[in-house]
Amino acid sequence: MKKLKNEKELIKKAIAEGVKYGEARGVVEFEPTDSANEKIEYIYRLLVHDKVIQPVPEDQISQQTMRHKLAIWASKQK
């Protein structure tokens, strides 16, 4: 897995976009106390469920792979 140049900024963008996406669908309401890791995991699973992104095999899922997939997704957003 090749790290992206601006992955940290893309993660922040992915969390913001993912929160908007989930709340617009009406499936989740994030609390200010939710950690970034919780948000990342929920957004990743929601996007996989909606077939927006390709899933990583279950035995290879980690916080790092979820972050990477979300960063790639965010880089393709407007």
How many CB atoms neighbour CB 39 within 10 A?
20
- Quick check: is 27 in a domain? yes
Angle, helices 63-75 vs 36-49, to 10°: value is 70
Q: What is the 3-state secondary structure (H, E, C) of 6-41?
A: CHHHHHHHHHHHHHHHHHHHCCCCCCCCCCHHHHHH
- Quick check: is 56 in a domain? yes
Q: How many domains does the chain have?
A: 1
Buried b / exposed e across 46-68, counting CB within 10 Å, b at 16+? bbbeeeebeebeeeebeeeebbb
- Quick check: is 4 in a domain? no
Q: Does 40 have pLDDT greater than 90?
A: yes
Q: Does 63 have pLDDT greater than 90?
A: yes
- Quick check: is 6 in a domain? no
Residues spanned by the domain of 52: 11-75
Find the CATH number of the domain harbouring 56. Answer: 1.20.120.1930
Instruction: Tell me the pTM.
Output: 0.91
* Model confidence band, residue 59 (pLDDT cutoffs 50, 70, 90): very high
Rounded average pLDDT over 54-73: 95
